[in-house]
Amino acid sequence: MSMYDLVIRGGLIFDGNGGEPFTGDVAVKDGTIAAVGTVEGAGAEEIDATGLIVTPGFVDVHTHYDGQVTWEHKLDPSSGHGVTTVVMGNCGIGFAPCRPEDRDPLMKLMEGVEDLPEPVLAAGIPWKWETFPEYLDFLDARDFDVDVAAQLPHAALRVYAMGQRAIDREEATAEDRALMARLAREAVEAGAIGFSTSRSINHKSSDGTPIPTLTSAADELVAIAGGVGSTGKGVLQAISDFEDTEADLAMLRHFAEAGGRPMSVSLMQWEHAPERWRQILGWVEQCAADGLTIKGQVSGRPVGLMLGWELSFNPFSHTPTWGKLSALPLEERRKKLAEPDVRAAILEEAKDRTDFALYYGDYTAMYALGDPPNYEPDPEDTIARRAERMGIDPDELAYDEMMARGATGVLIRPAVNYAYGSLAPSYEMLRHHETIYGLGDGGAHLGFLCDASIPTSMLAYWARDRKRGPTIPLPEVIQGLTRDCAQAIGLDDRGVIAPGYKADLNVIDFDHLTLHGPKVRYDLPTGGRRLTQAADGYVATVVSGVVTRRGGQPTGAQPGRLVRGQQPAPGIARADTASPALA
pLDDT tens digits, residue range 341-352?
Answer: 999 999 999 998
- Report whether pLDDT(583) > 60: no
Measured from the Cβ of residue 364, the count of other Cβ atoms closer than 10 Å reads 11
What average pLDDT does the chain have? 95
| Nearest C-alpha neighbor of 427 from the set 299, 332, 259, 583 | 299
> pLDDT category, 353, cuts 50, 70, 90?
confident
pLDDT digits (tens, 9 = 90+) for 125-135: 999 999 999 99
According to the model, what pLDDT value does residue 201 have? 94
Phi, psi of 473 (to 5 degrees): -55, 140
Closest of 502, 487, 575, 583 to residue 235, by C-alpha: 487
Q: Does domain 59-304+418-488 have CATH number 3.20.20.140?
A: yes
Q: pLDDT confidence of 114, banded at 50, 70, 90? A: confident
Residue 453 clears pLDDT 50, i.e. is over it:
yes
Confidence (pLDDT) at 541: 98
Q: What per-residue confidence (pLDDT) applies to 151?
A: 98
Dump pLDDT digits (tens) for 150-174: 999 999 999 999 999 999 999 999 9
Helical spans, DSSP H, in 301-372: 320-325, 330-337, 340-349, 356-359
The proportion of the chain whose per-residue pLDDT surpasses 70, expressed as a percent, equals 98
- Give yes or no for a contact between 226 and 185, defined as CB atoms under 8 angstroms apart: no
Question: Can 4-56+501-554 and 59-304+418-488 be said to share one CATH topology?
Answer: no
Q: How far is CA 352 from the centre of its chain?
A: 36
Please report which confidence band the pLDDT of residue 574 belongs to, taking 50, 70 and 90 as the band edges. Answer: low
The pLDDT confidence band at residue 115, using thresholds 50, 70 and 90, is: confident
pLDDT in the model for residue 526: 94
* pLDDT above 80: residue 109: yes
State in Å, rounded, how far the first CA of the chain is from the last one.
Answer: 39
C-alpha to C-alpha distance for 171 and 169, rounded to whole angstroms: 6
What are the residues whose beta carbons fall under 8 Å from the beta carbon of 246, sequence distance 6 or more? Answer: none
Task: Please say if the pLDDT value at position 582 is more than 60.
Answer: no
pTM over 0.85: yes
Architecture field, domain 4-56+501-554: Roll (2.30)
Residues 6+ apart with CB under 8 A from 581: none
Domain ranges of the chain: 4-56+501-554, 59-304+418-488, 305-414
Cβ proximity of 513 and 522 under 8 Å: no
What's the rounded Cα separation, in Å, for the pair 501 and 492? 9
pLDDT score for 572: 75
pLDDT above 80 for 337: yes
- Please check the confidence at residue 49 and state whether its pLDDT lies above 50: yes
Q: How far apart (Å, rounded) are the C-alpha atoms in residues 530 and 444?
A: 9
- Give CA–CA dist 79/65, Å, rounded: 12
578 has pLDDT over 50: no
Mean pLDDT of 396-423: 97
Lowest mean pLDDT among 108-117, 371-380, 429-438: 108-117
Beta strands in 332-482 (DSSP E): 367-368, 411-416, 435-437
For residue 35, the model assigns a pLDDT of: 98
Q: Residue 443: pLDDT band by 50, 70, 90 thresholds?
A: very high
Is the CB of residue 99 less than 8 Å from the CB of residue 127?
no
Which tens digits make up the pLDDT trace of 79-90?
Answer: 999 999 999 999
Average of per-residue pLDDT across 289-308: 96
**Crossing angle of helices 218-229 and 174-190, rounded to 10°:** 30
pLDDT of residue 576: 46
- Residue 341 CB neighbour total at 10 angstroms: 9
What is the percent of the chain where pLDDT is above 90? 94
Spatial contact of 42 and 7, defined as CB atoms under 8 Å apart: yes
Average pLDDT over residues 548-556: 97
Q: Is the pLDDT of residue 579 over 50?
A: no
Check pLDDT > 60 for residue 136: yes
Given this model, what pLDDT does residue 359 score? 84
Give me the sheet containing 367-368, strands edge to edge: 303-307, 411-416, 367-368
pLDDT surpassing 70 at residue 467: yes
**How far apart are alpha carbons 41 and 2 in whole angstroms?**
7
> Taking CA 280 as the corner, what is the angle to CA 274 and CA 284, rounded to the nearest 5 degrees?
150
